[in-house]
Amino acid sequence: MRQIALSTTASYQALETHALEAEDWLLRDLFAIDPARFPAFTVDAAGLFLDYSKNRLDARTLELLADLARERGVEDQRDAMFAGERINLSEHRAVLHTALRAPREPALMVDGQDVSADVHGVLERMRVFTDAVRAGIWLGHSGKPITDIVNIGIGGSDLGPKMVCLALRQYAHPRLKLHFVSNVDGHDLDAALGKVHPETTLFIIASKTFTTTETMMNAQSARAWFLERAGADALAKHFVAVSTNTEAIKTFGIDPANMFPFWDWVGGRYSVWSAIGLSVMLAVGHGYFSDLLAGAHALDLHFKEAPLEKNMPVLLAMIGFWNRQFLGCPSLSIAPYHQDLNRFPAYLQQLDMESNGKCVTKGGQPVDTLTCPVIWGDCGTNGQHAYFQLLHQGTDVTPIDFIAALRPGHEMGHHHAALLANCFAQSEAFMRGKTTAEVKQDLQGQGLTEAQITDLAPHKTFPGNRPSNTILMEYLTPYTLGALIALYEHKTFVQGVIWDVNSFDQWGVELGKVLAKKIEAELNGDAQPAQHDSSTNGLIAMAKAAV
Of 354, 416, 491, 522, catalytic: 354
Of 197, 513, 517, 518, catalytic: 513
Q: Is 212 in the site for ligand F6P (CB under 6 A)?
A: yes
- Which residue lies nearer to ligand F6P by CB, 156 or 261? 156
Residue choice 162, 208, 392, 490 for contact with ligand F6P (CB under 6 A): 208
- How far from chain centre, in Å, is Cα 257? 31
Q: Is 154 in the site for ligand F6P (CB under 6 A)?
A: yes
Q: Is 157 in the site for ligand F6P (CB under 6 A)?
A: yes
Residue choice 207, 470, 492, 502 for contact with ligand F6P (CB under 6 A): 207
Sign of the dihedral through C-alpha 299, 303, 306, 311: positive
Q: Is 144 a catalytic residue?
A: no
Give the nearest distance from C-beta 153 to ligand F6P in angstroms. Answer: 6
Q: Is 261 in the site for ligand F6P (CB under 6 A)?
A: no
Give the type of residue at 216.
Answer: M
Give the nearest distance from C-beta 122 to ligand F6P in angstroms. Answer: 16
Q: Is 85 a catalytic residue?
A: no
Of the candidates 97, 477, 98, the residue with the CA atom closest to the CA atom of residue 291: 477
E strands within 314-358?
331-337
- Residue 193 exposure: Cα atoms within 13 Å on the Cβ side: 17
Strand partners for 13 = none
Write each residue from 474 to 513 as x if it is in contact with ligand F6P (CB under 6 A), else as -, in one continuous string.
Answer: --------------------------------x--x----
Binding part of the chain for ligand F6P, among 88-96, 167-175, 206-214, 532-540 by CB under 6 A, reads 206-214
Binding part of the chain for ligand F6P, among 48-56, 148-156, 184-192, 531-539 by CB under 6 A, reads 148-156
Give the type of residue at 224.
Answer: A
Instruction: Give the footprint of ligand F6P on residues 51-80 (CB under 6 A).
Output: none
Q: Using DSSP, state whether 401 is helix, strand or coil.
A: strand
Output the 3-class SS for 248-291: HHHHHCCCHHHEEECCCCCCHHHCCCCHHHHHHHHHHHHHHHHH
Of the candidates 320, 17, 285, 312, the residue with the CA atom closest to the CA atom of residue 135: 285
Residue choice 56, 72, 78, 269 for contact with ligand F6P (CB under 6 A): 269
CB burial string 120-155: b at 16+ within 10 A, e below: bebbebbbebbeebbeeebebbeeebbbbbbbbbbb
Strand partners for 50 = 43, 471
Q: Is 21 a catalytic residue?
A: no
- Which residue lies nearer to ligand F6P by CB, 154 or 481? 154
Give the nearest distance from C-beta 409 to ligand F6P in angstroms. Answer: 29
- Which residue lies nearer to ligand F6P by CB, 268 or 433? 268
Give the nearest distance from C-beta 53 to ligand F6P in angstroms. Answer: 35
Q: With both helix axes pointing from N to C terminus, report the angle between 312-325 and 59-71 in degrees, rounded to the nearest 10.
A: 100
Binding part of the chain for ligand F6P, among 207-215, 377-385, 478-486, 495-503 by CB under 6 A, reads 207-215
- Which residue lies nearer to ligand F6P by CB, 157 or 325? 157
Residue choice 84, 156, 380, 478 for contact with ligand F6P (CB under 6 A): 156
Binding part of the chain for ligand F6P, among 51-59, 202-210, 442-450, 464-472 by CB under 6 A, reads 202-210
In the sheet with 177-181, reading across from the earlier edge strand, the strands are: 177-181, 148-152, 201-206, 239-243, 259-261
Phi, psi (rounded to 5 degrees) for 232: -65, -30
Dist. CA 206–CA 156, nearest whole Å: 9
- Which residue lies nearer to ligand F6P by CB, 134 or 269? 269
Of the candidates 118, 123, 117, 121, the residue with the CA atom closest to the CA atom of residue 105: 117
Q: Is 468 in the site for ligand F6P (CB under 6 A)?
A: no
Q: Pairing relation of β-strands 239-243 and 48-51? A: unpaired
Cα–Cα distances in angstroms (integers) from residue 467 to residues 395, 462, 491, in the given order: 14, 14, 17
Widest CA span of the chain, in angstroms?
83
Instruction: Give the footprint of ligand F6P on residues 302-341 (CB under 6 A).
Output: none
Of 187, 385, 410, 459, catalytic: 385
Residue choice 47, 268, 357, 399 for contact with ligand F6P (CB under 6 A): 268
Dist. CA 3–CA 72, nearest whole Å: 7
Give the nearest distance from C-beta 48 to ligand F6P in angstroms. Answer: 25
Provide the annotated active-site residues.
Answer: 354, 385, 513
Binding site for ligand F6P (CB under 6 A): 154-157, 207-209, 212, 215, 268-269, 354, 506, 509
